[in-house]
């Protein structure tokens, strides 16, 4: 078999075609316009955002709309693919609404906020996506619903909480799992096990909430205020990596979509599955 | 951009100048948006297909195409602004995004007509041994293979596209082909 020919044949195969959604180009244009508006707003209001962030860090008690210029009206909110979880109770025991000793910020409501910061006053109107009323699943500092970072794969599988992903082993030789009953597409792993380090990543839950109070739908300003330290930059640019209070061996990865947290991940700081 | 300069100038010379400048800017913007919409409409089928080859599954393809097109569309000032064909620019951006995007987050799918929750039959190519073997390649190696065999680019062109040396392209291609041969032999 000539591999060159085989590759050319494969890449000419009709089955590579992906059906295009109707009016897809209009949707893309709309999103591009939104992105452009946001970028301009951020440039113009950068100073205002800084002021708001400073006030948040200083403990000023107001809502969470610090980056409101980046937010669109909530009439048509982004729907992260995993929101199908939100109406369902978490898999096991740990359905804890966090009771952290850290005073939680006012995050549950998205009441329009006005501040005395003149540069931000006109834009701090729309804020964090409202917290869904469903029970929250405590994420961290060391475990999620009985699954502990570093635990052996066999023990985690025995819990019945997880099932293998359609591509069960990734390129690095790590094993990818989904939450039971919620199969992800191939290679989209909610949980990842390293043969060497055990369970290295727990994510993929729309009902996740950290003890400090970050959940899916929290804004960039929320995350910045609650976790001011970034552990390391990441090439994706849409992810905020921060140390986990109370667990020096872990990081939180907050994955953003449309400037809101779309996924919370609790991960081992040292692992060998990905960069 | 001409608009800010015109607006700033108008402030010192009288407000009458502001309106024409803004109108012109708005008209340019509308034209550019229309131009981008037409570009996206005609390019989407090919880009999704290319994304499918790059990523290995149609869902990731949709994610990749959407995110790259949105970014490019947000800065679109017309086809004339590109040094070469905009399609080539988009495809290069996709290859780069695929390589750098180690972790993917599923987005709301706007561009591909795919079932959201059907876990069976994700990919009509799943029964192809070579397709499965490709799936096991690291992103950069896969990108090199796709650029070479799907796009038909030379080693130098691939190196320029991915921002690496020609030597890296050679070694990545060699590693990828060795892996593919070994996977196919093992079946």
Over residues B62-114, the pLDDT tens digits come to 888 998 998 888 888 777 666 667 888 898 889 888 887 544 444 556 666 76
Q: How confident is the model at residue A99 (pLDDT cuts 50, 70, 90)?
A: very low
Residue A31 forms contact with B (CB below 8 Å): yes
Contacts of B38 in chain A (CB under 8 A): 25
Most confident of the following: A55-64, A202-211, B114-123, B149-158: B149-158
Confidence of residue B184 (pLDDT cuts 50, 70, 90): confident
Is the CB of residue A240 less than 8 Å from the CB of residue A230?
Answer: yes
Give me the pLDDT at residue B183, please: 87
Cα–chain-centroid distance for residue A4? 40
- Assess if residue B138 is contained within a domain: yes
Please provide the DSSP assignment of B76-135 as one string.
---GGGSSS-HHHHHHHHHHHHHHH--S-------SB---SS--S-S-TTTT-HHHHHHH
CA dihedral B40, B41, B43, B49 (to 10 degrees): 110
Cβ separation of A235 and B100 shorter than 8 Å? yes
Q: Enter the pTM of the model.
A: 0.50
Determine, for residues A10 and B75 on separate chains, whether the beta-carbon distance falls below 8 Å: no
Asked if the model's pLDDT at residue A96 lies above 50, the reply is no
d(CA A84, CA A140) in angstroms, rounded, equals 22
Angstrom distance (rounded) from CA B162 to CA B141: 11
Q: How large is the average pLDDT for residues B18-40?
A: 65
Tell me the C-alpha distance between B141 and A58, whole Å. Answer: 48
Domain boundary assignment for chain A: 24-72+82-150+172-268
Measured at the alpha carbon of residue A94, what is the angle toward residues A62 and A63, in degrees to the nearest 5?
5
Structural domain tally of chain B?
A: 2
Residue found under tokens 């872990």: A250
Angle at A46 between CA A40 and CA A52, to 5 degrees: 130
Q: d(Cα B98, Cα B113) in Å, to the nearest integer?
A: 21
Contact B56 A257 (CB under 8 A): no
Closest CA to A203 of A224, A218, A184: A184
Closest to A147 measured CA to CA, from A70, A76, A204, A88: A204
The residue with greater pLDDT, A259 or B48, is B48
The partner residues of A14 in beta bridges, in order of sequence, read: none
Q: Which two tokens stand for residue A3?
A: 């591999």
B137/A24 Cβ within 8 A: no
Element (H, E) at A243: strand A239-244
- Residue indicated by tokens 């540069």: A119
Classify residue B58: in a domain, yes or no: yes
Distance, CA of B101 to CA of B105 (rounded, Å): 10
- State the average pLDDT for chain B: 76
Q: Which segment, A23-32, A135-144, A229-238, B151-160, is predicted with the most confidence on average?
A: B151-160
Domain identity same for B74 and B130: no
CA atoms of B39 and A23, how far apart (whole Å): 13
Please tell me which residue, A10 or A50, carries the higher pLDDT value. A10
pLDDT > 90? residue B43: yes
pLDDT in tens, A43-95: 665 545 444 444 444 433 333 333 333 333 222 233 232 222 333 333 333 33
Put simply, the chain A residues between 143 and 202 with a CB less than 8 A from any chain B CB are 166-167, 171, 183-188
Q: What was the pLDDT predicted at B187?
A: 61
Task: For residue A238, list chain B residues with Cβ-Cβ distance below 8 A.
Answer: 105
pLDDT of the residue at B110: 67
Q: Is residue B178 part of a domain?
A: yes
Q: Convert the pLDDT of each residue in A105-129 to its tens digit.
A: 333 333 333 333 333 333 333 456 6
Q: Measuring CA to CA, how many Å separate B80 from each of A105, B21, B25, B36, B66?
A: 49, 21, 17, 12, 22
What pLDDT score was predicted for residue A54?
A: 44
Q: Kindly list the residues from chain B whose CB atom is less than 8 angstroms away from the CB atom of residue A166.
A: 119, 122
CATH of the domain at B167: 1.10.10.10
What pLDDT is stored for residue A154 in this prediction? 92
Q: How far is B103 from chain A (nearest CA, A)?
A: 7
In which band, very low, low, confident or very high, does the pLDDT at B2 lie, cut at 50, 70 and 90?
Answer: very low
Report the pLDDT value the prediction gives residue A147, as an integer from 0 to 100. 92
Q: Give residue for tokens 């994510």.
A: A203
Structural domain includes residue B36: yes
Decide: A113 and A63 in contact? Cβ < 8 Å. yes
Alpha carbon separation from A176 to A62, A250, B114 (Å, rounded): 41, 19, 23
Q: Which pLDDT band, with edges at 50, 70 and 90, does B147 fall under? A: very high
d(CA A40, CA A123): 13
Chain B residues lying within 8 Å of A10, measured CB to CB: 125, 128, 130-131, 134
Q: Can you give the residue range of the structural domain that contains B178? A: 124-187
pLDDT, tens only, A130-177:
665 567 888 989 999 889 999 999 999 998 889 998 878 876 778 889
pLDDT band, very low/low/confident/very high, at B165 (cuts 50, 70, 90): very high
Cβ of B103 within 8 Å of Cβ of A236? The answer is yes
- Residue B185 makes CB contacts below 8 A (sequence gap 6+) with none
Give the pLDDT band (50/70/90) at residue B8: very low
Report yes or no on B110 lying in a domain.
Answer: no
Q: Which residues does chain A have within 8 Å of residue B123's beta carbon, measured at their own beta carbons?
A: 186
> Can you say whether residue A160 is alpha, beta or left, with left for phi > 0 and alpha for psi between -120 and 50 degrees?
left
Question: Which of B32, B55, B82 is at the close of a domain?
Answer: B82
Mean pLDDT of B159-166: 89
Query: Residue B22 above 70 pLDDT?
Result: no
CA distances from A85 to A7, A139, A156, B63, B78 (A): 39, 15, 20, 21, 42
Domain stop point among B82, B106, B137:
B82
Structure tokens at A64: 């969470």
DSSP A210: -
Q: Are residues B130 and B181 in the same domain?
A: yes
Q: What pLDDT is stored for residue B10 in this prediction? A: 34
């Amino acid at each position: 078999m000539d591999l060159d020919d085989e590759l050319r044949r494969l890449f000419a195969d009709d089955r590579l075609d992906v059906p295009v959604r109707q009016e897809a180009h209009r949707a893309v244009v709309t999103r591009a316009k939104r992105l452009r508006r946001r970028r301009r707003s951020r440039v113009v209001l950068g100073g205002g955002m800084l002021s708001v962030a400073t006030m948040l860090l200083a403990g000023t008690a107001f809502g969470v709309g610090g980056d409101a210029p980046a937010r669109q009206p909530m009439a048509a909110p982004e729907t992260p693919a995993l929101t199908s979880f939100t109406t369902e109770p978490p898999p096991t025991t740990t359905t804890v609404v966090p009771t952290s000793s850290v005073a939680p910020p006012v995050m549950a409501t998205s009441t329009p906020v006005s501040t005395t910061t003149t540069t931000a006053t006109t834009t701090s109107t729309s804020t964090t996506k409202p917290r869904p009323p469903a029970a929250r699943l405590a994420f961290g500092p060391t475990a999620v619903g009985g699954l502990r970072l570093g635990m052996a794969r066999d023990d985690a599988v025995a819990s019945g909480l997880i099932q293998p992903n359609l591509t069960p082993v990734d390129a690095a030789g790590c094993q990818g799992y989904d939450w039971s009953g919620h199969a992800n597409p191939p290679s989209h792993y909610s949980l990842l096990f390293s043969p060497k380090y055990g369970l290295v990543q727990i994510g993929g839950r729309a009902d996740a909430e950290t003890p400090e109070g970050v959940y899916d739908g929290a804004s960039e300003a929320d995350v910045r205020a609650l976790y001011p330290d970034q552990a390391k930059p990441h090439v994706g640019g849409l992810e905020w990596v921060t140390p986990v209070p109370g667990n020096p061996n872990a990081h939180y990865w907050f994955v953003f979509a449309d400037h809101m947290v779309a996924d919370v991940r609790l991960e081992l700081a040292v692992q060998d599955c990905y960069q | 951009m001409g608009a800010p300069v015109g607006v700033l100038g108008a402030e010192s010379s009288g407000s009458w100048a502001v309106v024409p400048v803004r109108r012109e800017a708005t008209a340019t913007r509308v034209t550019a948006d229309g131009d981008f919409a037409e570009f996206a409409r005609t390019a989407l089928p090919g880009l999704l297909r290319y994304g499918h080859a790059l990523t290995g599954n149609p869902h990731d393809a949709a994610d990749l195409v959407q995110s790259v097109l949105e970014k490019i569309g947000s800065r679109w000032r017309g086809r004339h602004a590109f040094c070469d064909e905009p399609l080539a620019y988009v495809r290069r951006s996709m290859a780069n995004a695929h390589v750098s995007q180690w972790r993917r987050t599923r987005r709301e799918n706007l561009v591909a007509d795919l079932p959201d929750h059907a876990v069976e039959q994700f990919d009509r190519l799943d029964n192809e041994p070579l397709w499965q073997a490709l799936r096991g390649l690291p992103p950069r190696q896969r990108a090199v293979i796709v650029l070479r065999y799907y796009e038909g680019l030379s080693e130098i062109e691939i190196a320029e596209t991915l921002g690496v040396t020609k030597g890296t392209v050679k070694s990545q291609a060699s590693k990828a082909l060795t892996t593919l041969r070994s996977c196919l032999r093992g079946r």
